[in-house]
């Protein structure tokens, strides 16, 4: 049963987390291109697709820790330090995705689509300062090169957390399971 659970856990990680990390990494440069070419429906569609991949596969990604917990339980390693650190980093990665990456992608998409949020949208030159959106336009979020740079940073943190978890799962420092 352990081998079956471990196989499902690894497959879920590849199938769910892989697309999120790639799509999230592609989003900021694609958003910059769409901001520079606001009349390009193709550029805007690409950004929408990347966000949808992040959102959908992020939701499917809940299977990874669930299967990982079941696998750890069947292996009897729930109290191992490497696993506890991995679980904490996984939770942190999920929080980064949910609190920092996806909301900023949505803000950028709203700026690209011209959708008003709250009290209104103020649009600047497409290639210049970008678009200001938010619940109170005066304190809104700037959608432009600075916003895509911040998003790229948060995406990098998300990807680094997952890379660290992956290494911990392979190396398992201090493990007594003979890895």
Residue 175's CB: how many other CB atoms inside 10 A?
Answer: 15
* pLDDT tens by residue, 64-103: 999 999 999 999 999 999 999 999 999 999 999 999 999 9
Report the phi/psi class of residue 121: left, alpha or beta, with left for phi > 0 and alpha for psi in -120 to 50: beta
The answer to whether 54 and 101 have CB atoms below 8 angstroms apart is yes
Spatial neighbors of 2 by CB under 8 A, at least 6 apart, are 71, 74, 75
**pTM, whole model, 2 decimals?**
0.81
CA–CA separation, 143 and 159 (whole Å): 22
Length of the chain: 179
- pLDDT category at 29 given cuts 50, 70, 90 is very high
């Amino acid at each position: 049963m352990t081998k079956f659970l471990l196989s499902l856990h690894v497959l879920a990680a590849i199938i769910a987390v892989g697309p999120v990390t790639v799509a999230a990494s592609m989003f900021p440069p694609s958003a910059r291109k769409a901001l520079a070419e606001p009349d390009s429906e193709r550029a805007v569609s690409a950004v929408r697709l990347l966000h949808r991949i992040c959102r959908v596969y992020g939701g499917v990604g809940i299977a990874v820790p669930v299967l990982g917990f079941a696998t750890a339980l069947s292996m009897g390693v729930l109290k191992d330090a490497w696993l506890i650190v991995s679980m904490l980093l996984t939770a942190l990665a999920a929080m980064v995705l949910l609190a920092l990456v996806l909301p900023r992608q949505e803000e950028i998409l709203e700026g690209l689509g011209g959708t008003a949020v709250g009290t209104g949208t103020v649009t600047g030159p497409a290639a210049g300062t970008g678009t200001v959106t938010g619940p109170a336009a005066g304190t809104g979020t700037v959608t432009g090169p600075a916003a895509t740079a911040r998003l790229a940073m948060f995406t990098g943190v998300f990807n680094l957390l997952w890379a660290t978890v992956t290494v911990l799962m392979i190396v398992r420092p201090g493990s007594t399971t003979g890895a």
